[in-house]
Amino acid sequence: MPGGVSSPVRAFRAVGGTPVVIAAGAGARVTDIDGREYWDYVQAWGPLIVGHAHPEVVRAVTNAARQGLGFGAPTPAEVELARLIVEALPSVARVRFVTSGTEAVMSALRLARAVTGRPLIVKFDGCYHGHADALLARAGSGLLTLGLPASPGVPAEVAALTVTLPFNDAESVRALFEARGEAAAVAIVEPVAGNMGVVPPAPGFLEELRERTSATASLLIFDEVITGFRLGWSGAQGRYGITPDLTCLGKIIGGGLPAAAYGGRADLMAQVAPEGPVYQAGTLSGHPLAMRAGAETLRLLRRPGAYERLEALGAALEAGLRDAAARRGLPLTINRVGSMLTPFFSPGPITDSPSAQRADTRAYARFFHEMLARGVLIPPSQFEAWFLSLAHDEVAVEETVRAADAALAQV
Ligand code: KE4
């Protein structure tokens, strides 16, 4: 197994040391194979918003497993989850399930290129949308120049069809769409960035993107793989009042099991095979156990007060970390939206990838290990989001802040 892991970030390369190997999770805590317990802010990178091994989710999945482990056929569970998603997201009239966020984004981009007949993809520096070739492209020398491969194995011809703009830069959006809007199939954005660390949209940024894509008959994709059902029942699009043409979902909708989806306008989704000509398929798409885990998770999130609770826990953790850093006289900039946050080791402000990149990653690495030693597992990278769940409580936050206060003294 390259790096000894199934996904690079788990290898602790950004913070050094040997990755912890997790044996079990329960609520807001995980236990490693040596029996050490941690408050968990990785939360499997976002899906476990109701906590690890929630009894109602485990019971539902166990019962479903007794009925079989997949059929490659329509099942009631996928219809149930589809209905919940369509109910929650007014912009999503129809939805197709796939197995990973990468697959959701890859499929949505193919659909956008098919329905517009255009080749160009616009993405934003610091946003991550999975590892499809078209999205492993980085900005060329100038804003309007061709993209360059961001990984070996991505042909230059493919990267050249992806333009990367600065996140939160409405002026670059206006300039790009003025110059090349007629060739743009789609713009894709994390409406709240989570993959450069948490960076909220600047006022007017998402609005400019919506206006420019509409004005040039390009499509707008919101990649809500992280923010979907994280930032509210209607995700970031509900929180910021922007209606995308297509939305990509993942993580929370599978409740920790492999499930993702893309969906949106009925006229666009009608182009997806077998109804339309745009081909996309998947052996494990709509897997009944993942559908069941997702439906139970969303049902728990739909209960009154769930998002208020997540907001209160996020605010308490942010305040505690901020106070601890102030006591130590350390420059910590905390970006938070709801129950996702990132403390940057930087005076800030952190509003885009260049400013995020200026954070002191060595300080973060030392902080990471000091926290680990005190029983708190935070993401092993400065450029990821910490997640709170409904299983976290005031005790978890107090113990985390106490650990951070001691850890910061060692940074
Ligand atoms: P997956 O293919 O990993 O299921 O989803 C890709 C993806 C798409 N869009 C957004 C906004 C995402 O954050 C992701 C994946 N997120 C990373 C961590 N930020 C997953 C962790 C990993 O790569 O191991």
Among residues 125, 169, 223, 352, which one is catalytic?
Answer: 223
Q: What is the mean pLDDT of residues 150-164?
A: 94
Number of domains, the chain? 2
Among residues 41, 128, 240, 307, which one is catalytic?
Answer: 128
123: annotated active-site residue: no
Confidence of residue 140 (pLDDT cuts 50, 70, 90): confident
pLDDT the model gives residue 287: 98
Asked if 98 and 236 sit in the same domain, the reply is: yes
Asked if 317 and 368 sit in the same domain, the reply is: yes
130 CA from centroid of ligand 1 (Å): 5
Q: What is the pLDDT of residues 42-86, one digit of tens each?
A: 999 999 999 999 999 999 999 999 999 999 999 999 999 999 999
46 CA from centroid of ligand 1 (Å): 9
pLDDT the model gives residue 144: 65
Q: Is the Cβ–Cβ distance between 37 and 20 less than 8 Å?
A: no
Give yes or no for residue 195 CB within 6 A of ligand 1: yes
**Percent residues over pLDDT 90 in the chain:** 97
Find where tokens 């182009």 sit: 271
Asked if 251 and 151 sit in the same domain, the reply is: yes
d(CA 225, CA 229): 9
**Percent residues over pLDDT 70 in the chain:** 99
Q: What is the mean pLDDT of residues 28-41?
A: 98
Asked if 236 and 313 sit in the same domain, the reply is: no
pLDDT the model gives residue 143: 62
Asked if 264 and 189 sit in the same domain, the reply is: yes
Give yes or no for residue 170 CB within 6 A of ligand 1: no
Instruction: Assess whether pLDDT exceeds 80 at residue 146.
Output: no
250 CA from centroid of ligand 1 (Å): 8
Q: What is the mean pLDDT of residues 325-341?
A: 97
CA dihedral of 57, 374, 46, 382, whole degrees rounded to 10: -170
Q: What is the pLDDT of residues 220-230, one digit of tens each?
A: 999 999 999 99
- The verdict on pTM exceeding 0.85 is yes
Choosing from 266, 301, 336, the residue where a domain stops is: 301
Confidence of residue 248 (pLDDT cuts 50, 70, 90): very high
Q: Is the Cβ–Cβ distance between 293 and 61 less than 8 Å?
A: yes
Choosing from 301, 336, 361, the residue where a domain stops is: 301
Asked if 293 and 312 sit in the same domain, the reply is: no
CA torsion sign for 382, 326, 390, 79 is negative
Asked if 64 and 139 sit in the same domain, the reply is: yes
Farthest CA pair distance, the chain: 61
Asked if 282 and 308 sit in the same domain, the reply is: no
Q: What is the mean pLDDT of residues 162-179?
A: 96
Please give the backbone phi and psi of residue 223, each rounded to the nearest 5 degrees, phi first: -85, 100
Q: Six-digit token pair at 335?
A: 């970006």
Q: What is the mean pLDDT of residues 360-372?
A: 98
pLDDT the model gives residue 7: 96
d(CA 263, CA 179): 29
d(CA 261, CA 76): 17
Asked if 203 and 167 sit in the same domain, the reply is: yes
Mean pLDDT of the chain: 97
Pocket mutation for ligand 1, best pick of 195, 221, 386, 387 (most atoms within 8 Å of C-beta): 195
Classify the phi-psi angles of 120: left when phi > 0, otherwise alpha if psi is within -120 to 50, otherwise beta.
beta
Q: What is the mean pLDDT of residues 75-98?
A: 98
Asked if 308 and 355 sit in the same domain, the reply is: yes
Domain CATH for 255: 3.40.640.10
What amino acid is encoded at 20 in this protein?
Answer: V
Residue 6, domain extent: 2-54+304-408
Asked if 123 and 205 sit in the same domain, the reply is: yes
Asked if 95 and 219 sit in the same domain, the reply is: yes
Choosing from 301, 319, 344, the residue where a domain stops is: 301
Helix, strand, or coil (residue 14): coil
Find where tokens 């219809």 sit: 79
Q: Six-digit token pair at 303?
A: 């209960």
